[in-house]
Amino acid sequence: MTDITQDKTENKTQAQQDYEAGQDFLNNKDMSQAANAFHNALVGFEQEKNEIGIANASDKLGDICALHNDIVRSLEHYDRAYAICEKNSDRFSLFSIERKKAQIFHKAKEYDKAIKMYLDVLDEFSALVNPQGSVDTLETLAELYLQVGDKSKAADSFRMAASIHNNFKHKKHAAEFIKKAEAAEQA
């Protein structure tokens, strides 16, 4: 008979235990310990040749680097995870990484890359029929367009967001976006 108080870590690899420890440190906002644990997990997953583990650990290391504004290393980790997810046709993970990379490019003021990534994100939200995600992305795109001085595209993005709200009978929200579109054209 199995003792129900038995330690549940005995069937987990060291890499998986390190990854879970990293998650705990991350949840407790202990970034240095989380980074160390995810790095150890990454090394362990590499030794095990566990691609899914490598992708997960790389993604988490990318998140930590992004929090510390280490854009180059963040993108390196995300790109590694992305390549594995692409190989495994994991569309939802690819989409998650695309959103993170778009935010990184925006933060790094690489506006052309950010716009391109957010347009891809918008296409994905549209395909998933996710109106809230589409509206949020359109609003971000409008802000980016304003930052690069493209008032017309900013206004168009706000109007598209208004149209989505109109489709759901959200008249107040639609009116707010129409006002933003008008303000963008006047800016």
User: Tens of pLDDT along 29-54?
Assistant: 999 999 999 999 999 999 999 999 99
**Beta strand ranges found along the chain (DSSP E):** none
CA angle, residues 98, 99, 105, in degrees to nearest 5: 85
- Predicted local distance difference test score (pLDDT) of residue 187: 84
Tell which phi-psi region holds residue 116, choosing left (phi > 0), alpha (psi between -120 and 50) or beta. alpha
In the chain, the amino acid numbered 97 is: I
Decide if 172 contacts 160 (C-beta within 8 A): no
pLDDT band at 9 (very low <50, low <70, confident <90, very high): low
* Domains of the chain and any CATH numbers: 13-91 (1.25.40.10), 109-187 (1.25.40)
DSSP-derived secondary structure letter, 73: H
Backbone angles phi, psi at 3, to 5 degrees: -75, 125
132 vs 10: which has the higher pLDDT: 132
Return the number of other C-beta atoms located less than 10 Å from residue 177's C-beta.
25
